[in-house]
Amino acid sequence: MATVTTSAGPARAPRRSRTFGGGGPLVYGLAAVVVALTLGPVLYGALGGFRTNEQLARDPAGLPDPWVFSNYQGVLTNDAFWRYAVNSTVVAVVTTVVAVLFGVMAAYPLARYQFRLREPLFLVFVLGLLFPAAVAIIPLFILVTRDLGLGNTWWGVALPQAAFALPMTVVILRPFLMAIPRELEEAALIDGASRVGVFWRIALPLSAPGMITVGVLAFVASWNAYLLPLLLLRDEMRTLPLGVADYSTEHSADTAGVLAFTTIAMIPALVLFLALQKRIVSGLQGAVKG
């Protein structure tokens, strides 16, 4: 990752014909296979939610017949579901804000200042990629609950998650900040703006596409996180993935209900990610292009 030098810019010229070759039957056929394999399991879950348990037991692979809406209705009118959703949202938002803000702050000097410790410092963040949460999960748990007294709180989960999201954030944002034309900043500096002011007024807005990319990645990671919330959150504080796991235990006879629950639980992250998909791709471009 230390290689991420780039020319990726926040603003790009409108593109002309990017590729030649449209789609023959072969291309569409392949695309159809990819789509079927990719969406199959998700559709199975989504459609399963529209069936009864009896239908599922009779023919696991069938289509809903008749369509049943009570499963989804049941989930949407379930207080616990909304409580989990609120918890998931708050934790994900806090994680994202902290990770992106601290991340862009850290990436800025790494991109713009010349100092002796710059590369070693960057290496610290790259090394951070090597620490999976699972490695230190038990001490982390002791730290959060016993030493910080943040067990079973939103912050107790969001702060460690943000910390683990930081390496990726910095690694992606640095090339982004590097690509911002220096002239803009120099002009501001000449005007007497402070370095901090330049960061705040120029670098931050111009790196917004990159921040959206890392923000969405951090948000989705938090939304889907399982291990850390599992250890730290209980009862009223649980997040959706824990809710899914619990729901599938508590209502274990109700496979259709479980499928409906899981389907609804995946929607927010899916919508967010897919809506911003183009921005993420161009955001990542800065990080991966050599």
Q: Under rule CB under 8 A, which residues in 42-81 are in contact with other proteins? A: 42, 44-45, 48, 53-54, 57, 60-61
Three-class secondary structure assignment of the chain? CCCCCCCCCCCCCCCCCCCCCCCCHHHHHHHHHHHHHHHHHHHHHHHHCCCCHHHHHHCCCCCCCCCCCHHHHHHHCCHHHHHHHHHHHHHHHHHHHHHHHHHHHHHHHHHHCCCCCHHHHHHHHHHHCCCCCCCCHHHHHHHHHHHCCCCCCHHHHHHHHHHHHHHHHHHHHHHHHHCCCHHHHHHHHHCCCCHHHHHHHHHHHHCHHHHHHHHHHHHHHHHHCCHHHHHHCCHHHCCHHHHHHHHHHHCCCCHHHHHHHHHHHHHHHHHHHHHCHHHHHHHHHHHHCC
Q: Which is nearer to other proteins, 78 or 246 (CB)?
A: 246
Residues binding other proteins: number (CB under 8 A): 142
Q: Binder to other proteins among 10, 81, 113, 207 (CB under 8 A)?
A: 113
Q: Which of 50, 72, 154, 164 binds other proteins (CB under 8 A)?
A: 164
Q: Which of 75, 91, 92, 106 binds other proteins (CB under 8 A)?
A: 106
**Binds other proteins by CB under 8 A, chosen from 11, 16, 66, 79:** 16
Among 141, 155, 208, 212, interactor with other proteins by CB under 8 A = 141
User: Is position 159 an interface residue for other proteins (rule: CB under 8 A)?
Assistant: yes
Q: Which of residues 186-205 bind other proteins (CB under 8 A)?
A: 186-202
Cβ closest to other proteins, residue 73 vs residue 182? 182
Q: Least distance in Å: CB of 217 to other proteins? A: 10
Among 70, 73, 86, 182, binds other proteins (CB under 8 A): 182
